Amino acid sequence: MIVNRALLLVMALTVGCHEAAQIAAETPASCRVYFGTFTNKKSKGIYMASMDARTGRLGEPQLVAEAPSPSFLALNPNRRFIYACNEVESIDGKKQGAVSAFSIDDASGRLTFLGRQPSAGAGPTHLWIDSTGKNVLVANYSGGSVAVLPVRSDGALDPPSSVDQHWGKGADPARQGGPHAHSAYTDPSNLFALSCDLGLDKVFVYRFDLAAHTIVPNDPPFAEVQPGSGPRHLAFAPTGKFVYVLNEMACTVTVFSYGERRGR
């Protein structure tokens, strides 16, 4: 089976024990791993395999949901739903990608399709769910935009409630001829959202309204990395005071201090 650029989602809770005996006694013997794939060749959608939690050995992957190019997966904090980017240039007769929602069967791990909504841009490549599980943020690589999709009580999605379109170009005409939103995240406070744009060498910052399901450009609206770096993903330090940005094109990491009260 071919698994392209897969994201692994481990369904077992992490056990935070201090003694080896406790870890051995309390760590689940096995857990589930879900794989997102591209479906332009042999793959048919989302796959699942059991994993021995002690050895890391994976079982044979099994198809658990058919979907068009579910390249990136995100697990709802309530662990009942999984969301997938449908990373395509057009779907349902429109020139944009989509975000699909699935419920998880506790007994088998199989997924039930709950529906999909447009991603408000072509080529969605990354998803993020805010800490309450009430909003999905999606970054559209080809479309150069970031959108928010509200999550319903049954796990299904509403259409995009807020969209920000990036504009401009970067230093490398071959890869940065336009905006390429590559990822989107909420910060530890859940009050701001950040998006890496590979095409513009910028990390955009938004004020995030949880109840209104909206993003609004912050002041200032972005931070810049070195021209030609191509920022792709980021991670917050455990303290929330620093942001580490992975630059795909330059193969570097840019470090920012982060003012969590104002999202700067």
Give the integer Cα–Cα distance in Å for 202 and 221: 10
Phi-psi region of 127 (alpha: psi -120 to 50; beta: other; left: phi over 0): beta
Q: What value does the mean pLDDT take over residues 102-113?
A: 96
Give the integer Cα–Cα distance in Å for 155 and 146: 21
pLDDT of residue 21: 37
Q: Which of 17-31, 58-72, 93-107 has the lowest mean pLDDT?
A: 17-31
* pLDDT of 16 above 90: no
Give 155-190 pLDDT, tens digit per residue. Answer: 999 999 999 999 999 999 999 999 999 999 999 999
* pLDDT of 242 above 50: yes
* pLDDT of 241 above 80: yes
Q: Whole-angstrom distance between the N-terminal and C-terminal Cα of the chain?
A: 44
Q: Encoding tokens for residue 241?
A: 């005071």
pLDDT of residue 208: 98
Instruction: State pTM to two decimals.
Output: 0.89
* pLDDT of 14 above 60: no
Whether the Cβ atoms of residue 68 and residue 86 lie closer than 8 Å to each other: yes
pLDDT of residue 79: 94
Q: What angle do CA 228, 185, 260 make, to 5 degrees?
A: 95
Give 31-64 pLDDT, tens digit per residue. Answer: 999 999 999 889 999 999 999 989 999 999 999 9
Residue 136's pLDDT band (cuts 50, 70, 90): very high
* pLDDT of 9 above 70: no
